[in-house]
Amino acid sequence: MKFYEKAIDESVRNGIDKAKAQVALGEIYYSKENYLKAQPLYSEAMPVLPTTFENYTELNKKSLLLNDIAKNQQTIILEDSLQYLSTLSKEKQIAIIEEVIKKRKEEDKNKKDTPTVYYPLDDSLNQAFTDYVEMRKKIKKPMTERAKELAIKKLVGFARIPDTDVIDTDMAISILEQTATVTQLIPNNEVNN
């Protein structure tokens, strides 16, 4: 597992190598029924993988299933925590709740301070996509996380050099710029995610 983790951290080929390592590590966690660790690996890998990738349909189904399983597991964990919390004194409950609030505020502050990275291996493409997301916010039509995932997947598909796993960065940036231009020309009530 350490080799897959290292491959994920050090991948260099437009995300494909990273996605393959994520799927492989996700398979290990899945086989061990550690769905909470498998789910984010599949979720991050699927938008990058081409639809022609071996077993893509099965992997996509598994990714969607893991999303549901992880959500249900998180609900169970929350319920267990709340039941445990209900057995404590009011003072201990308040102390725990205040600590959770403090941690959440710190996490939120850290999230705001850390910019989202959409394309970690290409700064210019990452900046172009970030600019596109910001433009959507400015025209009062922000993208949902799902819309961002789909846009990334479509962009990767359009800009992939045929018969390779390599993305033509210039083409991808050009597509984003043209899409941004067209999107800004359409009245707000006609823009789709």
Query: If we measure between CA atoms, which residue out of 67, 62, 74 comes closest to residue 23?
Result: 62
User: pLDDT per residue over 42-86, tens digit each?
Assistant: 988 888 888 888 888 999 999 999 989 988 988 998 899 989 999
pLDDT for the residue 185: 63
Chain position carrying tokens 């291996």: 121
Whole-angstrom distance, CA of residue 141 vs CA of residue 157: 24
H/E stretch holding 2 reads helix 2-10
Residue 167 φ then ψ, to 5° = -100, 130
pLDDT over 50 at 191, yes or no: no
pLDDT over 70 at 109, yes or no: yes
Where in the chain are the domains?
1-113, 123-190
pLDDT over 80 at 12, yes or no: no
